[in-house]
Chains A and B, each alone.
Chain A
């Protein structure tokens, strides 16, 4: 079995190398059959990797403990879903998942574009397959998932495996890595198109139109992956943190930020044919940051809680990044003429310049995060001394940048394209500014003194009101014209320009995310040693320990507290924090109990047992104001992204130029 899997990977590697060669040669020598054969190779690679993945998953589920990977990441007692999730629980398997996803994406792409872009597609295929070949080299040689346990020349078997890290045995963890990989891998596609279009000097922005939805969906996957990770950290790690500025978290954030910048600045190219070079740079940066993120996770170059073990594959990544970046920079510099801007900036006060600022701020925050992530490595190399770059650094640098970004979210969309007079801006901003300042005044009066908290909440109000006013003004204009009611008019308005109004909904989601982040400024926590019958207080809650239980099953032993929650004399419910000790890995983990409400979460963690002979339970209690808005904001963002994906309702009969006579005379030939 495992031999078959390893063979499939090797075969896929050969085919990907062949696909690169065939596509490029076929395109240059004008041999359409060779190009077609290269495309066939793409499908074949997907099939082969599906077989390899299937074999690995089967071995994990069936418990074939002759395989090193299975022995390390699966065990007999684990529930089926986590056995399946062990596919991406370790380095080798996750690289295989990566390669499999890329092959799937490539197959879809080649199939849907098989008749289009005859000029550029061979290059797109070649670039995709070059990336594919790189990952296949990794899993064919240094990180082969089908390595068997062996003593001398004999294959050995262990009776049971280590099992997936119990911290990862949680539903969002089963979904978080594949989502993130769908994002990471997906950015390869717009990158390949951008490069293909650059190599062949395509007229127009075909690559942008073709990959627009693709980029958006990928962006959404990446965001979902990040948020699932945050949700996992919040509900599993036991201290209510959702973001720790860990190098690997940072690595997933970086391409998401540059992709956000790309999604914005690409509008400049579509509307006015400007910023072509910049968009190339952004999409390339996004792709290389994805690779860089994988490199950070896999090479163990920076210490991190989720990095996989130290591995020799770092140098492969460095070589790939160096070659890839050099080639991209060369291509862009060589074709600057082709990327010349088609129009100019009419006025400094315009949507265009607000996009410039948006890009600047996004990139600055991206750089700050990147810099903080790699600075310990740089500093150690230069000064020879280890230093720490922890959460306080990132917060101090990124909070002001983030708040400015939030401000721009409100300002940008209100400025018209090309030019806007200051008078009309004053009119647009009067109400939102007043409302924002009003919120700050009320909070000040209520005794809130946290500076960033105040600014953030004021800005949230400011941006929300600009968005609401945009929807209201637009719907009113349509309602007046068509006589529909306001709700129907709003639907009509959104349907007419889904990208813009979907974008506003995404902005609204971001505001809610910021609202949730701001809550962290007002967190409360307390830790108590308790026995049955004890009472304690946190925030407005009175907590009473009703019972302490313990027990045991195949997978783990557990201890649980039953805690009644009261507020203002009435009982609100019961929370049951629990602690488990996994038998195979001998690792204790907490299963926290959370009372989630929109205003605040009450969060209890059964943290341990005192060893001073009293055998009391240690309960950590937290109150996290507003944190639920992070998840609400995420769903709003998701909804907004879906709106953006709906094709807009436009009637443009005049769009196509009549080509009948022309095309017949100039029958297209394959170059």
Chain B
């Protein structure tokens, strides 16, 4: 009885663990290459909303509010630009642009992980999503 239970336990555990088949693999879920940029964008909007509210309840002086708002909008614009850059990589650019691109392409615009090149320096590769060295400007 005890032996049978022990054997069942061992065999069960081994079969369950090792018996994985192709069809058990979960269907690949599309991962948006924009995920981290979207997160960033949402965060900045959230910050802006917060800022507006804090200004409304009188926690901020007008000057501080304007300054911070401008900064946040600038950051947002940068993120949007980055998203567009990634998108630009997705659809093949027209021939003229390609020429332009190769002319512009610097070493720092090439992803060291997958070799994809980009028009401008990016923080993260638009192909594989890994961080790029950038020119740290």
Interface size class of A (residues with CB under 8 A): 35 or more
Residue of A nearest to B24 (CB): A36
Is B60 located at the chain interface by the 8 A CB criterion? yes
B9 near A7: Cβ-Cβ < 8 Å: yes
Chain A positions 407 through 429: 1 when the CB is less than 8 Å from some CB of chain B, otherwise 0: 00000001011111101100110
Q: A residues within 8 A CB of B60?
A: 416, 420, 424
Out of B5, B13, B58, name the residue touching A4 (CB < 8 Å): B5
Per the bound structure, the CA–CA distance linking A18 and B20 in Å amounts to 14
Interface residue count for B (Cβ, 8 Å)?
A: 63
Per the bound structure, the CA–CA distance linking A497 and B36 in Å amounts to 22
Per the bound structure, the CA–CA distance linking A118 and B29 in Å amounts to 10
Per the bound structure, the CA–CA distance linking A428 and B60 in Å amounts to 10
B28 near A668: Cβ-Cβ < 8 Å: yes
Within 8 A of B (CB), among A445-493: 473-474, 476-477
Chain A positions 602 through 621: 1 when the CB is less than 8 Å from some CB of chain B, otherwise 0: 00000000000000000000
Chain A positions 199 through 218: 1 when the CB is less than 8 Å from some CB of chain B, otherwise 0: 00101111001000000000
Per the bound structure, the CA–CA distance linking A670 and B37 in Å amounts to 21
Out of B30, B43, B75, B91, name the residue touching A659 (CB < 8 Å): B30
A423 near B61: Cβ-Cβ < 8 Å: yes
Per the bound structure, the CA–CA distance linking A8 and B87 in Å amounts to 52
Given A4-B5, A668-B31 in contact, is the A421-B63 Cβ separation under 8 Å? yes
* Residue from B13, B22, B26 having most chain A Cβ neighbours under 10 A: B13
Out of B10, B32, B71, name the residue touching A418 (CB < 8 Å): B71
Within 8 A of A (CB), among B16-54: 16-18, 20-22, 24-43, 45-47, 49-51, 53-54
Given A33-B25, A203-B130 in contact, is the A665-B90 Cβ separation under 8 Å? yes
Q: A residues within 8 A CB of B25?
A: 32-33, 36
Is B103 located at the chain interface by the 8 A CB criterion? no
B39 near A657: Cβ-Cβ < 8 Å: no
Chain A positions 387 through 424: 1 when the CB is less than 8 Å from some CB of chain B, otherwise 0: 00000000000000000000000000010111111011
A15 near B17: Cβ-Cβ < 8 Å: yes
Out of A48, A346, A420, A659, name the residue touching B9 (CB < 8 Å): A48
Q: B residues within 8 A CB of A4?
A: 2, 5-6, 9
Within 8 A of A (CB), among B40-84: 40-43, 45-47, 49-51, 53-54, 56-61, 63-64, 67-68, 71, 75, 83
Out of B9, B24, B71, B123, name the residue touching A11 (CB < 8 Å): B9
Residue of B nearest to A205 (CB): B39
Per the bound structure, the CA–CA distance linking A424 and B55 in Å amounts to 11
A203 near B83: Cβ-Cβ < 8 Å: no
Is A330 located at the chain interface by the 8 A CB criterion? no
Per the bound structure, the CA–CA distance linking A47 and B14 in Å amounts to 13
Out of B5, B59, B129, name the residue touching A416 (CB < 8 Å): B59
A44 near B20: Cβ-Cβ < 8 Å: no
B39 near A416: Cβ-Cβ < 8 Å: no
Q: A residues within 8 A CB of B6?
A: 3-4, 7
Given A657-B32, A661-B91 in contact, is the A44-B17 Cβ separation under 8 Å? yes
B45 near A663: Cβ-Cβ < 8 Å: no
B39 near A209: Cβ-Cβ < 8 Å: yes
Within 8 A of B (CB), among A639-671: 650, 652, 654-657, 659, 661-663, 665-670
Within 8 A of B (CB), among A22-61: 32-33, 36-37, 40-41, 43-44, 47-48, 51
Given A204-B39, A271-B43 in contact, is the A417-B32 Cβ separation under 8 Å? no
Is A112 located at the chain interface by the 8 A CB criterion? no
A657 near B38: Cβ-Cβ < 8 Å: yes
Q: A residues within 8 A CB of B43?
A: 270-271
Within 8 A of B (CB), among A261-301: 270-271, 273
A51 near B9: Cβ-Cβ < 8 Å: yes
Per the bound structure, the CA–CA distance linking A657 and B84 in Å amounts to 10
Is A114 located at the chain interface by the 8 A CB criterion? yes
Q: A residues within 8 A CB of B133?
A: 337
A419 near B22: Cβ-Cβ < 8 Å: no
A417 near B9: Cβ-Cβ < 8 Å: no
Is B118 located at the chain interface by the 8 A CB criterion? no
Residue of B nearest to A670 (CB): B28
Q: Interface residues, chain A, CB within 8 Å of chain B?
A: 1, 3-4, 7-8, 11, 15, 18, 32-33, 36-37, 40-41, 43-44, 47-48, 51, 114-116, 118, 201, 203-206, 209, 270-271, 273, 337-338, 342-343, 346, 414, 416-421, 423-424, 427-428, 473-474, 476-477, 497, 650, 652, 654-657, 659, 661-663, 665-670
A–B pairs, 6, beta carbons within 8 Å: A40-B16, A40-B17, A203-B129, A421-B61, A427-B58, A666-B90
Please give 4 more A-B residue pairs, beta carbons under 8 A apart, in addition to A203-B131, A654-B45, A655-B42.
A44-B17, A204-B36, A477-B53, A668-B30
6 closest A-B pairs (Cβ-Cβ)?
A204-B36, A657-B34, A473-B57, A203-B124, A203-B36, A662-B90
